[in-house]
Structure 1
Amino acid sequence: MTITDPLLKAREAAALLGISEPTFWRHVGKGTLPKPVKLGASSRWPQSELLEVIEKAKADRNAA
């Protein structure tokens, strides 16, 4: 089985977005970033969902 959409830890997701981990969690809590996929006690984010957030922010910026 090949994973084509890596699941990122909070630390990795925050690094991808260029923000601190506490800031990342704040955005998740506010709903501006997607909720995690829960795997037992672990929280993970599909990389594709985070990249979609970036693309949406770019589109919103260009539309303004």
Structure 2
Amino acid sequence: MAHSNTRPLRNTDTALDPLLSGKEAAHYLGMSYPTFLRRVADGTVPSPIKLGALSRWPKSEILAVIENAKAARHSA
């Protein structure tokens, strides 16, 4: 039997850091979906991961946007 050099995919990364749709990410940020898309376009929110036609954002990146906003209000 031939051995494969590929390792099985582990689902631990996505289990710990789920991928959010744009509407889910907008909800986390407390903004409308159109506003969310404008923030992606202006760079306030990171660009999505593209999975074919789907756009998804790691939850950790959306939470980082919130943490960065908190930090910015204290340094202003």
TM-score, length-normalised on structure 1? Answer: 0.95
RMSD (Å) for aligned C-alpha atoms:
0.7
Q: May I ask how many residue pairs the two structures share in their alignment?
A: 64
Correspondence for 2:60? 48
Per chain length, whose mean CA-contact separation is higher, i.e. which structure has more relative contact order (CA < 8 Å, sep 6+)?
A: 1
Identity %: 61
Q: Distance in 2 between matches of 1:9 and 1:26?
A: 15
Correspondence for 2:42? 30
- Find the structure with the greater CA-based Rg: 2
Q: Aligned-pair distance for 1:7?
A: 0.2
Q: Distance in 2 between matches of 1:13 and 1:58?
A: 17
Q: Distance in 2 between matches of 1:47 and 1:53?
A: 10
| Structure 1: runs of 5+ lacking an equivalent | none
How big is each residue's C-alpha offset from its partner over 1:6-58, in whole Å with a ceiling of 9 and x where there is no partner? Answer: 10000100000000000000000111100000000000000000111110110
Letter in 2 for 1:33: V
Which aligned segments of 4 or more residues in structure 1 are displaced greater than 6 angstroms?
Answer: none
| Structure 2: runs of 5+ lacking an equivalent | 1-10
